[in-house]
Chain A
Amino acid sequence: MQPKHKILVIDDEEVVLDSCTQVLAGPDCQVTTASNGAEGLRRLEEVQPDLIFLDLKMPGLSGLEVLERIRAKHPLMVVIVITGYATVSSAVEAMKKGAFDFLPKPFAPEELRLIARRGLDHSRLVQEAVALRREQEMLRENFAAIVSHELKSPLGALQQNLYALVDDLEDRLSEEQKQRFAHLKTRLDDLLKLIHSWLRVFSVDINRLKDTFKPVGLGEIIAKAVENVQPHATRKALEIETTVAPGLPRINGDEGSLTEVVTNLLGNAVKYSFPNHKIRVRAEAQNSDVLVSVADTGVGIAPEDLPHLFLDFSRGRAQPEGVGGCGLGLAISRRIVEVHGGSIGVESQPGKGSTFTVRLPAAQAVSEPGPPRQNKV
């Protein structure tokens, strides 16, 4: 059976090794000894101990050197130093280098037992914390996979059968029945889209977008986004006016996700605009940044709603009739913009309208990192 605890003692004095073994070794505690630093480091890899006692004063590799090497390779290893002449200064030095505690020589068996118990408890806590963190990360990473499979598959199957039914019944369905099928299809599509949005928000890996950054032109991105929302705008008799400053610098980024951001902002503008009004999209350079702004003359946002606007599941209170949404669009947009090293902001007056502005670093300035951002997710 594996012993519960494994302790490694590194000391050049045989009497210390022997007494430590005698005091600590037992059915649930295995003690391994090493009589110098080099041997100690070798033993460490072999036994993978939970706790190390390390003499500071040894011939060859000094205790502090051994400590540094242990911490470099196993940053979470719990090390208790044994100080030969009970000098506080060397003990303090060792604690600074990451030792968990120190034990002055000579020591009584009870002292050794007590400090070993504390060291092992600490080691267990450290290991538990690591395991917990790993589990959390796994859960987060796998969440995407689980949601994708468990929620999307049934919806996909439903949709697929709807397609098949419509295909089968094509000649027999009345116009009204076809409409109903089309409506069902839209509802299912919306659900699938919603799940997709959730995945984007909860996924930690939005940073991966960075791997495929390349220079992109905001003019093209805006044109695409406008195309995406044009049908909805037309339905509300809204005009979308685009102004892209000539000679606008390109930015380093991911075209697809940036298009999603602009589409999102435009979609909101359409949603919250009064009918027959105009939405203005502008892109211009400012210093080493490129600004994209989307301005609407619509319901606007209440001042008390502004601080939460870019958080998950946040929706303004001023909802016009029939406006749907999950309150994730702006949160996703913010994340995408931040991955690009930019920022997103809003100015709004209730009843007058809102202007969202996205600030992105121009491509040539990308190599110089900007100031660190506060609101890390």
Chain B
Amino acid sequence: MSEPKRLLVIDDDPDFVAGIKAILVKAKYAVDVAYNPKDGLQALKDKAYDLLLLDVMMGRGAEGIMIARKLGKDPKLRDLPVLIITGIREQMAFLFPGQAVHPNFVAVDELVEKPIEPKLLLEKVAHLLKTAEARKAAAK
């Protein structure tokens, strides 16, 4: 039996996190949680993860976007697949003038809207993990 995949969730809403963590744990993933961007970035430095689930709106604004941008610049973390989970509907992004919160502003692999149905969540996670593995294999 292979090692369980390690996922990190960065989201400042503990209740929401409890809701997705339960689904992921039941699907046999090893799930760590960070409740703010700072702890999240630290966790990413300390440990190797296979996938990051990232909330967009945290703290004083779109801090999730900031994390995603930082990841993009970090050669070690650049290839980490990211699933953006957001309360903002994509079609509603035009409601945020002057703020770079539009999900398309950052290069992230996938985006889902809160709340997310268990089946869809697990599909997205499995798909991202598979794509990342294929990419790694191709690079070798």
List A residues at the B interface (Cβ < 8 Å).
Answer: 141, 144-145, 148-149, 152-154, 156-168, 196, 199, 203, 205, 208-209, 211, 256
In the complex, how many angstroms separate the beta carbon of B119 from the nearest chain A beta carbon?
9
B22 engages A164 (CB within 8 Å)? yes
The verdict on B136 contacting chain A, using a C-beta distance below 8 Å, is no
Q: How many interface residues does chain B have, given as a range?
A: 20 to 34
A167 engages B23 (CB within 8 Å)? yes
B95 engages A256 (CB within 8 Å)? no
Looking at the complex, which one of A141, A152, A161 makes contact with B87 (CB distance below 8 Å)? Answer: A152
A199 to B92, CA, bound (A): 9
Looking at the complex, which one of B20, B91, B92, B97 makes contact with A160 (CB distance below 8 Å)? Answer: B20
User: With contacts A152-B87, A156-B87, A159-B115 known, is A205 near B19, CB below 8 A?
Assistant: no
User: With contacts A149-B57, A152-B87 known, is A163 near B94, CB below 8 A?
Assistant: no
The verdict on B135 contacting chain A, using a C-beta distance below 8 Å, is no
B92 engages A157 (CB within 8 Å)? no
Residues of A within 8 A of B92 (CB): 144, 148, 196, 199
Residues of A within 8 A of B111 (CB): none
A163 to B116, CA, bound (A): 8
A199 to B88, CA, bound (A): 11
User: With contacts A164-B18, A164-B23 known, is A209 near B115, CB below 8 A?
Assistant: no
* Nearest-CB residue, chain A, relative to B92: A199
A154 to B13, CA, bound (A): 8
In the complex, how many angstroms separate the beta carbon of B59 from the nearest chain A beta carbon?
11
Looking at the complex, which one of A160, A168, A209 makes contact with B26 (CB distance below 8 Å)? Answer: A168
B15 engages A203 (CB within 8 Å)? no
User: With contacts A148-B87, A153-B13, A205-B97 known, is A164 near B114, CB below 8 A?
Assistant: no
In the complex, how many angstroms separate the beta carbon of A192 from the nearest chain B beta carbon?
8
A160 engages B57 (CB within 8 Å)? no
* 8 smallest beta-carbon distances between A and B, as pairs: A160-B19, A159-B115, A157-B15, A156-B114, A164-B22, A157-B16, A161-B19, A144-B95
Q: Mark B54-75, 1 if CB is under 8 A from A, else 0.
A: 0001000100000000000000
In the complex, how many angstroms separate the beta carbon of A173 from the nearest chain B beta carbon?
14
Output the residue of B16, B19, B114 with the most chain A CB within 10 A. B19
A167 engages B26 (CB within 8 Å)? yes
A167 engages B118 (CB within 8 Å)? yes
* Nearest-CB residue, chain B, relative to A163: B118
Q: Mark B15-42, 1 if CB is under 8 A from A, else 0.
A: 1101110110010000000000000000
A246 to B96, CA, bound (A): 40
In the complex, how many angstroms separate the beta carbon of B55 from the nearest chain A beta carbon?
9
A149 to B12, CA, bound (A): 12
Residues of B within 8 A of A166 (CB): 118
B13 engages A157 (CB within 8 Å)? yes
21 cross-chain CB contacts under 8 A: A145-B96, A148-B92, A152-B87, A153-B16, A153-B57, A156-B13, A160-B16, A160-B20, A160-B114, A161-B18, A163-B23, A163-B116, A163-B117, A164-B19, A164-B20, A164-B23, A168-B22, A199-B92, A199-B95, A205-B97, A256-B91
In the complex, how many angstroms separate the beta carbon of A272 from the nearest chain B beta carbon?
28
A173 to B79, CA, bound (A): 41
A157 to B22, CA, bound (A): 13
Looking at the complex, which one of B91, B94, B118 makes contact with A164 (CB distance below 8 Å)? Answer: B118
User: With contacts A164-B22, A167-B22, A168-B26 known, is A156 near B95, CB below 8 A?
Assistant: no
B16 engages A203 (CB within 8 Å)? no
Residues of A within 8 A of B88 (CB): 148
The verdict on B127 contacting chain A, using a C-beta distance below 8 Å, is no
Residues of B within 8 A of A199 (CB): 92, 95
In the complex, how many angstroms separate the beta carbon of B117 from the nearest chain A beta carbon?
6
Residues of B within 8 A of A148 (CB): 57, 87-88, 92, 95
User: With contacts A157-B13, A163-B19 known, is A144 near B96, CB below 8 A?
Assistant: yes
Q: Mark B72-114, 1 if CB is under 8 A from A, else 0.
A: 0000000000000001110110111111000000000000001
In the complex, how many angstroms separate the beta carbon of B11 from the nearest chain A beta carbon?
10
A144 to B117, CA, bound (A): 25
In the complex, how many angstroms separate the beta carbon of A349 from the nearest chain B beta carbon?
36
* Nearest-CB residue, chain A, relative to B27: A167
A159 to B121, CA, bound (A): 14
User: With contacts A160-B115, A161-B18, A163-B115 known, is A145 near B95, CB below 8 A?
Assistant: yes
A159 to B20, CA, bound (A): 10
A203 engages B20 (CB within 8 Å)? no
A149 to B59, CA, bound (A): 10
A280 to B103, CA, bound (A): 39
Residues of B within 8 A of A158 (CB): 15
User: With contacts A160-B19, A199-B95 known, is A153 near B26, CB below 8 A?
Assistant: no
A162 to B16, CA, bound (A): 10
